[in-house]
Structure 1
Amino acid sequence: MFQYLRSVLFIAQMYIAMPIIGLLFAPWALVDKRGAFAACKGYSRYVFWTAKWMVGLRCEVRGTPPQGEALIAAKHQSFLDIMMIFTALPSAKFIMKKEILYTPIIGLYARRLDCVAVDRGKRGAAIEKMVADVEAGRSTPGQLIIYSQGTRVPPGEKRPYKVGTGILYEQLGQPCVPVATNVGVLWPKHGLLRKPGVAVVEFLPVIEPGLPRDAFMKQLENVVETRSDALMAEAGFTDGNHT
């Protein structure tokens, strides 16, 4: 019960801080992308700090985040892995659902960071537009983050890896860095309880460009799922439960 109360207080202050930090940085962010990066990374680090002392949740990044251009193909379990991956990279932008563009504060910063919005309901047309938007945005180098399963996937649940990641891998001709995580064990997709422990995102060995699409997708899914399972077990997730 005490952990639940701590969690509610943590979530409340986290969402109160979001518009405050967003509005404070908005004048700088509107004229310079460095302001947008500073705001988002500053807010994320604030959340990591408060999570540690308010609910006993520590955030840890493992592996080697790329510094140059790369495709980041990540496991997605909750809002926390978004912040952790973004903060670990020098110049990140996301493939994200279109609805986020219309969210107060978050939408403004998503536009300033050149995130690529996708209409998930249109399937083939959405992939074509995503490819075109990514190509148009290549004038601003950085790390392009895609969640290969297309949505948050709770621990223990299986979802297919979508072909969009393979299409971008072929199109960009860049190294792909897989990312595994266990954050959903401690910061679930649904509910208010935030559990104490170590939330990890891990940058895995690079998949070099040039593989056939099917071989790439098979390798990506294997390494991300295998390592995520191990990280979730490390966090106490066994047989659908957190111990």
Structure 2
Amino acid sequence: MLVLRSLAFNILFYANLTLWLILGVLPALLLPKRAILAVAIGWAHSALWLMRVVAGTRCEITGIENVPQGGLMVGAKHQSFLETFALVTVFRNPVFILKRELTWIPVFGWALTKMRMIPVNRGARARALSDVTRRARIELGQNGRQLLIFPEGTRRAPGAPPDYKFGVAHLYGELGVPCVPVALNTGLYWPRRKFLRRPGTVRIEILPPIEPGLDKATFQRTLQERVETASDRLLAQGRAELAARGMDPLANS
């Protein structure tokens, strides 16, 4: 049953994405940026609905009251593709830092450019960090957007040792805005590099913001401690729920 539900969800998920790209994104490319953002939010809600109805996986997001007004950073744990679109339903004017190669994809890449996402050339690190900082300062300062960052840079398996990069601390020091930590346990239900989608309740927790003004090293330690402590708690909660269903994915790892 798990395999069949996962297969059905994956087929419907990508079919749904394709429809939104053709019927939503293409027309919206001719309209102002807010039209593309509205399409992205609509698609994210539809994907979460499919996940709940087909895969039996609910997404519970708590702590929304901790999000301050105005420009800010979001430092989120990254275990799955799920959080990349689930968070769009919370932060309604987000800007992501992403691989520049994604902007080369027809339709999808055009939409990323239209939404003024920040592409980065990973082969030119020093210049890339300078360009990202300049672009982020414009988007957060002038446009009051939310910069969504995954401080570990790539998806990490649930329970893997943390690997926070310096880039998030650099941006915090340069931008002078609050940073909202985000903890989660998404990798238990939507594991990376696998097609299985486990039923249950995914939990994403938005934590109180870290105010600007800390030195970079102190900020990095604070962010990692808050995100990892909360994520470990959510991981234990998720594992207990999955174990009750007879499918703890980490039991033998």
Q: TM-score, normalised by structure 1?
A: 0.93
Identity of aligned residues (%): 36
Which of 205, 209, 223 is the equivalent residue of 2:226? 223
Matched with 1:71 is: 73
- Deviating more after overlay: 191-200 vs 105-114: 105-114
Asked if the contact 2:133–2:175 (Cα under 8 Å) also holds between the matched residues in 1, the reply is no
Q: Which residue of 2 aligns with 1:182?
A: 185
- Which residue of 162, 167, 170 corresponds with 1:167? 170
Asked if the contact 1:19–1:105 (Cα under 8 Å) also holds between the matched residues in 2, the reply is no
* 1:18-38 deviation digits (Å, cap 9, x = unpaired): 121122222224321121111
Give the 5 Å matches for 1:132-143: 132-137=134-139, 138-143=141-146
- State whether residues 182 and 200 of structure 1, in contact with CA within 8 Å, keep that contact through their aligned partners in structure 2: yes
Cα separation, 2, equivalents of 1:75 and 1:150 = 10
Distance 1:48 1:81, change over 3 A: same
One-letter amino acid of the structure 2 residue matched with residue 230 of structure 1: R
Which residue number in structure 1 is paired with residue 18 of structure 2?
19
The structural deviation recorded for 1:240 is: 6.8
User: 2:115, 2:13 → 1: CA distance?
Assistant: 21
Instruction: Give yes or no for contact 2:41–2:92 (8 Å, CA) kept in 1.
Output: no
Moved over 4 A (4+): 237-240
Instruction: Give the structure 2 partner of residue 43 of structure 1.
Output: 43
Contact kept, 8 Å, 1:155 with 1:240, in 2: the verdict is no
Counterpart-to-counterpart distance in 1, 2:138 and 2:220:
24
* 1:54 match: 54
Q: Which amino acid in structure 2 is aligned with residue 210 of structure 1?
A: G
Query: Cα gap change, 1:36/1:198 in structure 2, threshold over 3 Å: closer, same or farther?
Result: same
Classify the secondary structure of the residue corresponding to 1:199: strand
TM-aligned CA deviation for residue 242 of structure 1: 5.8
Does the 8 A contact of 2:7 with 2:195 survive in 1?
yes
Shift, 1:53, TM fit: 1.3
Q: How many residues in Structure 1 have an aligned counterpart in Structure 2? A: 242
Alpha-carbon distance in 2 for matches of 1:22, 1:54: 21
Following superposition, the deviation at residue 136 of structure 1 comes to 4.0
1:157-210 deviation digits (Å, cap 9, x = unpaired): 124211111111111111110111110110011111000011121110110000
In the superposition, relative to structure 1, how do residues 52 and 206 fare at CA in structure 2: closer, same or farther (>3 Å)?
same
CA contact (8 A) 1:67 1:90 kept: no
Please state how far the C-alpha of 1:106 moved relative to its aligned partner.
2.7
The answer (yes or no) to whether the contact 2:153–2:165 under 8 Å persists in 1 is yes
Aligned to 2:34: 34
**Structure 1, gaps ≥5 residues long:** none
Q: Secondary structure at the match of 2:30?
A: helix
- Change in Cα spacing, 1:103 to 1:66, as seen in structure 2 (3 Å) is farther
Residue pairs, 1:58-207, within 5 angstroms: 58-64=58-64, 65-137=67-139, 138-207=141-210
1:39 Cα deviation from its structure 2 partner: 1.0
What is the CA RMSD across the aligned residues, in angstroms? 1.9
Paired with 2:158 and 2:82, the residues of 1 have a C-alpha distance of 14
- Cα deviation, 1:123-174, whole Å, max 9, x if unaligned, reads 3232122112223434332111111011111112124211111111111111
Distance 1:28 1:4, change over 3 A: same
User: Which residue is 1:209 aligned to?
Assistant: 212
Q: Give the TM-score taking structure 2 as reference length.
A: 0.89
Counterpart-to-counterpart distance in 1, 2:199 and 2:97: 30
Asked if structure 2 preserves the Cα contact closer than 8 Å seen for 1:180 and 1:225, the reply is yes
